[in-house]
Structure 1
């Protein structure tokens, strides 16, 4: 387990989690906000995206009251992302992170805020992060409100940054500074 905060815990992704990822990533309600409703996952896609990829990304399952409810990942920003985001002149330790709550019954209960705050605290304290960044799509106002409650600030607009449901969508670069 990476950390625990009350009923919330985050642990490393295990192979046995593949079926829960398929469940979440084939739910149109979840896909509306993560990956897109035109991109439902099957077991092969889950293995391709979550298990057979870059070793620099730390992939985790989010549990609440010992039940898996979501996914979170974090990674040191690479040179391509640093360039895209405009961090080429900084010597800061910068982490990126992405997450979703896959169990819709756990939405709108403050768990996302608790998760983001807890992960930022973990990255700052355990990984010596100076900054943590994310790039949510501009239309995802609920997520952006959550991130702003956690201390993130909008830094710059990233036009047509992410393909979602057949079109490239604008995203905000948001950052938390220690």
Structure 2
């Protein structure tokens, strides 16, 4: 389901509204059972809701690194949400993530759209780590270069998931 979107696959889904609605209900029931494959099912449900991008890039927030461009100075900013912390930084392949700035998670009351729906679903199902990660992903970051504060997800629809950073020992 997550593959739909960018390659003309949406046309294939156009005549399947009833089947997609049934699939959505099946996914909802499966999520409420708190399955071992919760994240996979959650991402499938996000895709059924029509948010293919979030379905494809959303991680489990154990060690997720996202890449965005600062909307003010265009520098590449690494967003870390997981075991390494919750911060924005400049990625240096020799030094690791430098000039870290703490992220500012969105409060549930200010979330809207898909961010609110994903957060509420994760909370409903007791997925605390996922809900916390979504609050951070839809929160604000500070650019380490120009110090501007920006909304990570809403201002950056092209946010992409990066592979984990290699471990570096400071010199």
TM-score by length of 1: 0.27
Q: Choose 1 or 2 for highest CA Rg.
A: 2
More strand by share: 1
